Amino acid sequence: MKKINPTIKKFYGYHLSTKSYTGKVALSTLKNASRNKVIEIGGRKYHIKGCAGQGGFAQVYKAFVNSDPNDVVALKIQKPAFPWEFYMYRQLDMRITGRERSSYGLAQRIHLYADCSILICDYLAHGTLQDVINRYAVQGKPMEEVLCIYYTIEMLHMVETLHDVGLIHGDFKPDNLLIRYARDDLTEEGFLDRSGPWCDQGLCLVDWGRGIVLDLFPDDIVFKGDCGTSGFRCIEMQEDKPWKFQVDAYGLCVVVHMMLHNCYMEIAKEESSDGGYMYLPKQRFKRTLNLLVESNSYWNVALWKNFFTKMLNQYPGNDDRRLLQELKKSFQDYISSDPKMIKTLRELLAKQRTSMCCA
């Protein structure tokens, strides 16, 4: 933090106070009954509408700014004060521009006090990828393969973009992937290059508290340590080996596994044909009937095996762009091979939006 302090103070939206928070409503009271309370931050009033999420050190609340239902934000209240996440958001602002930026969350400002910090971010109202996975689990069925492929393409593209600008998320999981929906109706055109309405459709990666800015370290840096998040500890963490980009790659694999199987990924260390060993998910791919297209087709097992084999065993420690692009193209080629797939995908996304909004 000492290294970034001179920089972070210059960022737009950075507000520092040496005193504790002294609003009329104590922040501690929000944990038990937050709805309809009004707190004041930096001269603005925030009408709390409910808790949007919480962890060990922070709570996130949905709020109306000055009681305006058209101006909705997310307030992340954290104790002790934690400016690093705001720094990560400003790094995203500088490094990722244009249409890609909306895939990584937006922070408006941060208010730092002696006893806490309040990060004010844009609010997305459509839930998380975890919510979508849970809905399928409740129904007792896996997500349709074409929808799994779509979200896998999205995540591969997001991680590629992120790593290419020298950033690591460090906590890649479905709870941190918000759903984005296009304003206009999706069409068959624009899917491959993410243009038109497809640009606004997809995912948004948030919660950057464990993010890493590689520019702050030597070029050959690798990391040791354990994220401590059950189910998302990469192989290197499990075996006490150094890691770098693998932390995001493994998280991506777990998310894909959850979409396919409705459960966390467990890995097995198996002997390979060359006398070595390789890691693969313990849960095998079932050749079950694929109901996502209007024919008696089966899941493309070879496609998923290739994905997990390369992500878990051939992931490069430094430049991972080529591998991510190769895997992304394999899914794009498959989904583009049958026009019915994109038509089905559009229908499933529309159905998902309706069902999640009604939930």
Instruction: Provide the annotated active-site residues.
Output: 171
C-beta of residue 60 within 8 angstroms of C-beta of residue 80: no
Burial class (CB in 10 A: 0-12, 13-18, 19+), 168: buried
Measured in whole angstroms, the distance separating CA 187 from the mean position of its chain's CA atoms is 25
Concatenate the DSSP letters of all residues of 182-201 into one string: -SS---STTTTTT-GGGGTS
Residue 80 backbone dihedrals phi, psi, to 5 degrees: -70, 175
Following CA atoms 331, 332, 335, 336 in sequence, which dihedral angle do they give, to the nearest 10 degrees?
A: -150
Other beta carbons within 10 angstroms of residue 248's beta carbon come to 26
Amino acid at 156: L
Specify which residues 269 forms β-bridges with: 279
